[in-house]
Amino acid sequence: MTKRPLDILDQVLNGEPVIVSLKGDRELRGVLQGYDVHMNLVLDKAEEVTDGAAQKIGTLIVRGDNVIYISPSGN
């Protein structure tokens, strides 16, 4: 059976960090704590990654219409 996108997100929920690419050339890294069908995300231990340097943010809610993609971080 083919997996649905939300099924794949369930696999990384509360697990390894993910990388979230946003509009405006921004990139976040953090642990996915929750999401909804609009792709609104809750990230814990969130960091904004700029030119390889990470700035710690903490817990963050990301509005879904800004999300370009979500990927496992590979850490």
11-50 pLDDT tens trace? 888 888 999 999 999 999 999 999 998 999 999 999 999 9
Report the candidate in 2, 3, 6, 59 with the shortest Cα–Cα distance to residue 70: 6
pTM score of the predicted model: 0.85
SS3 for the chain, per residue? CCCCHHHHHHHHCCCCCEEEEECCCEEEEEEEEEECCCCCEEEEEEEEEECCEEEEEEEEEECHHHEEEEEECCC
Q: Is 52 left (phi over 0), alpha (psi -120 to 50) or beta?
A: left
